[in-house]
Amino acid sequence: MCIEGSQGCENPKPSLTDLVVLEHGLYAGDPVSKVLLKPLTGRTHQLRVHCSALGHPVVGDLTYGEVSGREDRPFRMMLHAFYLRIPTDTECVEVCTPDPFLPSLDACWSPHTLLQSLDQLVQALRATPDPDPEDRGPRPGSPSALLPGPGRPPPPPTKPPETEAQRGPCLQWLSEWTLEPDS
């Protein structure tokens, strides 16, 4: 990883990430923001590097974050693949997991200002057409243009929202999985 023009930087490659702020709050008393990141390129540590370069490293990132003297908290890096879509020649593989960053799962997280609904953003991502792999120009459907935000109406729902009966077992499994001590 290097920045073009810096000493020792040979063959720099572009990297792009779209970022949408979802919530503001506190984590263990420190001000933090919950964000949705969409990598438009696939560079090593891209999301972590971009957040750090903005002056807002991922909570718990001991490599690109700030040393605080409280490295025991949180118990993991607060970076999670919430929604993945991998288009192939034969099908589009989609995976959406429950949101692990909830006060009920981590008592250190205390949200106070909701800016964007995660469910609405995922619906917008699902409705976004996949880019043509042959097209080498600008990527169509950049989420900054397609995701709901100030002055943009939310997209129509593409499928019924998940019910509490569906969400409950997933959250239970996630809470058991994340709280197991390392072996």
The answer to whether 178 and 100 have CB atoms below 8 angstroms apart is yes
For residues 5 and 78, give the distance between their C-alpha atoms in angstroms, rounded to a whole number: 32
pLDDT at 12: 80
Beta strands in 11-170 (DSSP E): 17-27, 30-39, 83-87, 92-96, 109-114
169 or 20: which carries more pLDDT confidence?
A: 20
Q: What span, in angstroms and rounded, lies between the C-alpha atoms of 124 and 115?
A: 16
Length of the chain as a residue count: 183
- CA dist., res. 148 & res. 40, Å (int): 18
How do residues 1-59 score in pLDDT, each as one tens digit?
Answer: 666 777 887 888 888 888 999 999 999 888 999 999 988 888 888 898 888 888 888 88
pTM for this entry? 0.65
Q: Which residue has the higher pLDDT, 125 or 147?
A: 125
Closest CA to 107 of 1, 26, 169, 2: 26
pLDDT tops 60 at residue 80:
yes
Asked if pLDDT for residue 87 goes beyond 90, the answer is no
